[in-house]
Chains A and B, each alone.
Chain A
Amino acid sequence: MIDGYFAGSFPRSPELIEATINFEKGKIDEADLEKEFARATDELVKLQVSKKFGYVADGMLRWSDLLRPFTTELGGIEVGALTRWFDNNTFYRKPIIVNELKGNKKIALRITHKNQLPRKVEWKAILPAPFTFAQLSENKHYRNKSELMFSYSKILREGMKDLAEADFSYVQLSDPSLVYRPLKGPIQKEELAGVKEALREAIKGVEVRTSLQTFFGDFAKILPEALDFPVDDLGFDLYETSISELGKYEFTKGIALGLVDSRNSVLENSAELAKIAKHLIESVYPSKIKEVFICPNTDLDFLPWKVAERKVDTVSKVVNALRGDLLG
């Protein structure tokens, strides 16, 4: 199977941007703003359906950053200062953990807007992974970040169960902190064992297909340990990952190839990308091709809406080229 999907949030459309600015200025109320969010989400869903994506997501247009719905809605967290989002010229609000984390009823369901997803397609939700959530927070309550990570894992599990019960069939856990470590060096094996356990805790008893999507750093640096993570698919940012290193390992899980660059507006040559993907797929699956997703390398909201639409088209073209080439 070779399919396409989003690996994160989509940018806001020019009309939606204008609405958010007008909302801030008090020119429109929350209900008007919500109408604009809903309108843009509908458009985005149609785009994914038209490209025949295997799983369709709501695009996370309402999210101000990957952690924000949790930062503002979970108990035990205060909203902290604006902080640089990895090595980008964008910023998130740091969650300050001041007390024991407390789940907020059906939070995962409320923030994924299933009412805007059509019945005829499979639904995908995207949530922050335990390690990244803990790393990007300021911990003032738990003994250490590991304890915080496991506490969040339990809340995540409840959210994932709610999503599964609501007919979501795919949940991606985004984990950039796992691979973005420019000043720290690669994560140690013992810590990776903890990450694996936290993922197990989050996914335990949840009947939904799962992936761990990494970006902004080199996935090859967490191999071979990551091959045993308890998820169905592993995703990587191929603009940061050493493709030759990756090709040295044999994968038994599905892979999500972040092949389309969300951080540059240049439109890639889909045939070139398909060639790179084919080479990689044949390296990591020497005997039989397993499941492959083609996706942007991270959130598309580093780009303006129109450019992001074209990137989605590139994803679709690469998928079609690979299907023709590898699946006949």
Chain B
Amino acid sequence: MDKLFPTQEVGSLAKPTWRIKSLKGEIITEADRREAMAWGVKLELEELNKLGELLEEEDSAKKREKIVEWSALYAIKLFEATGLDIVFDGEQWRKEMYEWVIRNVEGFNFLGFVKSFDYRYFNKAACISKPRWIKPIYLYEFLFTKKHARKPIKIPFTGPYTLIDWSFNEHYGKALEKGSSNLRAQRFEGRKEFLFDLVKEVIRPEIKKLVKAGAGWIQLDEPAATTHPTGEEMNLFVEGFNETVAGVDCKFSLHNCYSNYGLLAQYVPALKKCSQISLEFANRDSKRLGMNGEIRAGYEILKLFEENGFKEKYGLGVIDVHTNFVESPELVRDRILRGAEIIGDPERVNPSTDCGLRTRSWEVSFTKLKNEVLGAELARKEF
């Protein structure tokens, strides 16, 4: 893409109430219906009466499938309506980033919920046999997006390191049980074998199918990248990424947020074929306008990535996804310009959200994204 400061979103969008209720088989209220129609009109979607009729239908597998398609279409059109340069479907097909993959792969068994924090939990699976690709994970949603999007698209793809880190490792734990008294080394060897088998048997086959179907950009989401801040684990993350992308003719990027960037900065230069790293900066920044280092403190960490020799592009988080505060176009502009100034090359800046906007309402998400686009336009005027 030749345009300076191409804009994007990097994660999931909230799922509309009419989608959530329909997939649970719950009754759609008049308010839910009105919301669906109002957004449909705003996004200039055609044949809205068909969605209206669908919402009235009895619950069935076919209805659920159609509802997911409609919500994906809404998300694609929302991104396009804001003026973003790169779009996708806001991950409307997926329950969430971990469970969606694991449920579509052989070799895992969900064991139940474990605590994340407070009264929040996640359903955690154990790897019980060698993982195996059995059916498309992201292919259908990609084909749907490709058919309906009018802008260049990318596919967010949960990365292998995160998948193994968020799963129990029973299969490789057992396989390596040889009476060793070095339990730590044994556990690490098990993780390593798990990672490489997952890449070989599941991740690469899915990527190859996506590429064959025309995918040009895959964004590998690795929120767990810096969970284990040791050299051996960070190298494992890097090796997993490199093995995933080896020999594949496609553009790849990495997304990671709310992590130890001091550590990550040391390892991203070793990522092969990684044309962009999308990181969270707005969350660390002030809301004041201005360009000096103190005001734009959130972007100082870019220096570390540069000092460590990262040469590719940055998905520069200029929108904080954890607040309803809507960044003005001028604030977005200043963040972009400060980023470009530190990097010393505006061509390497792709304005982004910090992460997915799934915890924000569509109204807030729409306004934030619109201002991201307007801010990029303002920034372009400086060059």
Binding site for B on A (CB under 8 A): 11-12, 14, 17, 20-21, 23-24, 64-65, 82, 84, 87-93, 182-183, 218, 238-244, 261, 264-266, 268-269, 272, 275-276, 279, 301-307
Partner of A265, one of B111, B116, B166, B181: B111
The answer to the question of B383 belonging to the interface, with a C-beta cut-off of 8 Å to chain A, is no
B190 to A: closest C-beta gap in Å: 9
Partner of B177, one of A65, A240, A269: A269
Partner of B116, one of A89, A238, A244, A272: A89
Contacts of A12 in B (CB 8 A): 115
Contacts of B229 in A (CB 8 A): 87, 182-183
A266 & B170 in contact (Cβ 8 Å cutoff): yes
Stretch at the interface among B28-36, B118-126, B206-214: B118-126
Known A239-B184, A266-B174, A279-B181; contact A11-B114, beta-carbon cutoff 8 A: yes
Known A266-B173, A279-B181; contact A21-B114, beta-carbon cutoff 8 A: no
Report 26 cross-chain contacts, Cβ distance below 8 Å, ordered by A residue.
A20-B119, A64-B119, A82-B117, A89-B166, A90-B116, A91-B117, A92-B117, A93-B118, A182-B229, A183-B229, A238-B183, A239-B187, A240-B184, A243-B181, A243-B183, A244-B181, A261-B187, A264-B173, A265-B168, A266-B170, A269-B177, A301-B114, A303-B111, A305-B112, A307-B111, A307-B112
Nearest 9 Cβ contacts at the A-B interface: A304-B112, A265-B168, A266-B173, A20-B119, A91-B117, A266-B170, A87-B228, A239-B183, A265-B126
A89 & B112 in contact (Cβ 8 Å cutoff): no
Contacts of A84 in B (CB 8 A): 227
What is the predominant secondary structure among interface residues of chain B facing chain A? mixed
The answer to the question of B230 belonging to the interface, with a C-beta cut-off of 8 Å to chain A, is yes
Give Cα A5–Cα B181 distance, bound, in whole angstroms.
22
Partner of A276, one of B118, B170, B174, B181: B181
Contacts of A305 in B (CB 8 A): 112
A64 & B177 in contact (Cβ 8 Å cutoff): no
Contacts of B177 in A (CB 8 A): 268-269, 272
B168 & A264 in contact (Cβ 8 Å cutoff): yes
Give Cα A269–Cα B121 distance, bound, in whole angstroms.
29
The answer to the question of B247 belonging to the interface, with a C-beta cut-off of 8 Å to chain A, is no
Interface residues of B in 91-128 (CB under 8 A from A): 111-119, 121-122, 124, 126
Give Cα A326–Cα B352 distance, bound, in whole angstroms.
63
How many positions in chain B have a CB within 8 Å of any CB in the partner chain? 33
Q: Beta-carbon contacts of B162-178 to A below 8 Å, as 1s and 0s? A: 00011011100110010
Interface residues of B in 122-173 (CB under 8 A from A): 122, 124, 126, 165-166, 168-170, 173
Contacts of A303 in B (CB 8 A): 111, 114
B170 & A89 in contact (Cβ 8 Å cutoff): no
Give Cα A82–Cα B116 distance, bound, in whole angstroms.
10
A64 & B117 in contact (Cβ 8 Å cutoff): yes
Q: Beta-carbon contacts of B249-286 to A below 8 Å, as 1s and 0s? A: 00000000000000100000000000000000000000
A294 to B: closest C-beta gap in Å: 14
A14 & B113 in contact (Cβ 8 Å cutoff): yes
The answer to the question of B245 belonging to the interface, with a C-beta cut-off of 8 Å to chain A, is no
Contacts of A302 in B (CB 8 A): 114
Give Cα A261–Cα B187 distance, bound, in whole angstroms.
10
Partner of B119, one of A23, A88, A264, A275: A23
Give Cα A265–Cα B187 distance, bound, in whole angstroms.
12
Give Cα A306–Cα B124 distance, bound, in whole angstroms.
13
B121 & A266 in contact (Cβ 8 Å cutoff): no
B157 to A: closest C-beta gap in Å: 19
A272 & B114 in contact (Cβ 8 Å cutoff): no
B101 to A: closest C-beta gap in Å: 15
Contacts of B113 in A (CB 8 A): 14, 17, 304
Give Cα A269–Cα B112 distance, bound, in whole angstroms.
22
User: Which of A12, A21, A265 has the most chain B CB atoms inside 10 A of its CB?
Assistant: A265
Contacts of B224 in A (CB 8 A): 89
B99 to A: closest C-beta gap in Å: 14
Known A239-B187, A265-B126, A275-B179; contact A306-B117, beta-carbon cutoff 8 A: no
The answer to the question of B182 belonging to the interface, with a C-beta cut-off of 8 Å to chain A, is yes
Contacts of A65 in B (CB 8 A): 117
Contacts of B181 in A (CB 8 A): 243-244, 276, 279
Known A65-B117, A92-B117; contact A266-B168, beta-carbon cutoff 8 A: yes
B112 & A301 in contact (Cβ 8 Å cutoff): no
Partner of B124, one of A238, A240, A244, A304: A304
Give Cα A90–Cα B120 distance, bound, in whole angstroms.
10
Q: Tell me the nearest residue of chain A to B170, going by C-beta.
A: A266
Q: Tell me the nearest residue of chain B to A240, going by C-beta.
A: B184
B314 to A: closest C-beta gap in Å: 23
Contacts of A268 in B (CB 8 A): 177
B230 & A182 in contact (Cβ 8 Å cutoff): yes
A264 & B169 in contact (Cβ 8 Å cutoff): yes
Contacts of A91 in B (CB 8 A): 116-117
